Amino acid sequence: MKPAPFGYERPRDLQAALAVLNQVSDSAKIIAGGQSLGPMLNLRLVEPQLIVDITGLAELKQAERRGDELVLGACVTHADIEDGRTADVTRGAMQRVAANIAYRAVRNRGTVGGSLSHADPAADWVSALAALGAKLTLRSSAGARAVAMEDFVVGALECALRAGEIIETVHVPARPASAHWGYAKSCRKTGEFAHAIGAVLIDPSARTARIVIGAIDAAPIVITDAMELFGGRIGGDYKDRFDTRVADAILAKAGVSNAAQRHIHASVLKRAVCEAAA
């Protein structure tokens, strides 16, 4: 229950951090709030030779609205979003997601970038930000690249980050005034990792719907054009048109073989749809 010995480095700026990662990326692990990595270190599931602490980097602890999007530095915490210390472009959607992540003591240190990099399929931002259509800027000493959230998580605890690369910023598009948002999750105990997550962004006037089925022990299912779940048409009556059988079929196709599990996921997704319509 005590970590194996590790070296520690706190670079002074992003460039220095990237330089360190470039040198030693094989044996180094980045730490931000440490709320996922800390337990793994303590359990000795992870034994890096060097820990690179990026929480001192002022560049990553910024948030600003740029035009139609919110740009969050990777080290912005869940509590920062919950408390409204960051601008809100989602009309409260992100604030409600943040407020229900783990526990307050965890939210005070846990960061958005850390949660996404860790890529636990059951983590909230992995699903919520995919539904909101967020994009990430990944940076290495070679430069920056943009990746859409739906392409970022590739499997359980596996994401698109390459060696020596870190998440720099999260770009969240403004939620249109006509877009409805619903987010539901199932946890057996408040604050624990979810067993099922449903996230929906539906715009009946634009006839569009983004749907995410998360916490399936693999990368979340992201459906950017979710008409099929609503009988082929998105309208004001989408709540009544939501077809649980289609959700079940999608889950089966994604490899969720247990019927009870599929039922839970489909029910949680339905709750999210109902919340959006409420």
Partner 1 sequence: MSMIELSVNQRAVRISAEPRTNLADFIRDKLDLTGTHLGCEHGVCGACTVLLDGVPARSCITYAVACEGAEVTTIEGLDEDSVTAELRAAFTREHALQCGYCTPGMLVSARDLVLRLPQADERLIRVGLSGNLCRCTGYVGIVRAVQSVIEARRARDIAPMPDGGRKILGPVGSGRSVHRGADRVEQARGQSAPEAAGSVGSIPDFIPATVLTQHFTVAHPPEQVFAMFGDIAAVAACLPGASLTAPLRPERVEGAIRVKIGPIAATFLGAARVERNPADMSGRIVGIGNDRRSRSSTQGEIRYRLVQVGQGTRVDLSIGYTLTGMLAQVGRAGLVRDLAARLIAEFAGNLDRRLSGTSDAGATAAELNGLALVFGSLRAQVARWLGRFSSRQDGAP
- When asked if residue 37 is in the footprint of partner 1 (CB under 8 A), the reply is yes
203 versus 275: smaller Cβ distance to partner 1: 275
Which tokens belong to 181? 């948002």
265 binds partner 1 (CB under 8 A): no
Which residue in 14, 21, 32, 172 binds partner 1 (CB under 8 A)?
A: 32
**What whole-number distance in Å separates Cα of residue 143 and Cα of residue 126?**
24
DSSP run (H or E) holding 211: strand 208-214
**Residue 78 to residue 76: CA distance in whole angstroms:** 7
Smallest distance from partner 1 to CB 112, Å: 11
Q: Which of 22, 69, 83, 224 binds partner 1 (CB under 8 A)?
A: 83
> Is there binding between residue 252 and partner 1 (CB under 8 A)?
no
Residue 33 binding partner 1, by CB under 8 A: yes
Does residue 188 belong to the site contacting partner 1 (CB under 8 A)? no
Would you say 46 or 227 has its CB closer to partner 1?
46
Q: Does 53 help bind partner 1 (rule: CB under 8 A)?
A: yes
Interface pick for partner 1 out of 4, 142, 146, 252 (rule CB under 8 A): 4
Two tokens at 261?
A: 């599990």
Residue 42 vs 244, nearer CB to partner 1: 42
164, 18 in Cβ contact below 8 A?
A: yes
User: Among residue numbers 102 through 161, which ones bind partner 1 (CB under 8 A)?
Assistant: 102-106, 108-111, 118-119, 121, 155-158
If you search the block for the tokens 């029910």, which residue do you land on?
Answer: 267
The strand pair at 166-173 and 158-159 is best described as: unpaired
Within 8 A by CB and 6+ apart from 122, the residues are: 193, 194, 195, 197, 214, 215, 217
Q: How many residues bind partner 1 (CB under 8 A)?
A: 77
Among 15, 23, 44, 66, contact with partner 1 (rule: CB under 8 A): 44
The residue from 22, 42, 141, 224 that contacts partner 1 (CB under 8 A) is 42
What DSSP assignment string belongs to 164-195?
A: T-EEEEEEEEPPPTT-EEEEEEE-SSTTSPPS
Nearest to 175 by CA among 89, 98, 94: 89
Cβ proximity to partner 1: between 16 and 227 the closer is: 16
Does residue 260 bind partner 1 (CB under 8 A)?
A: no
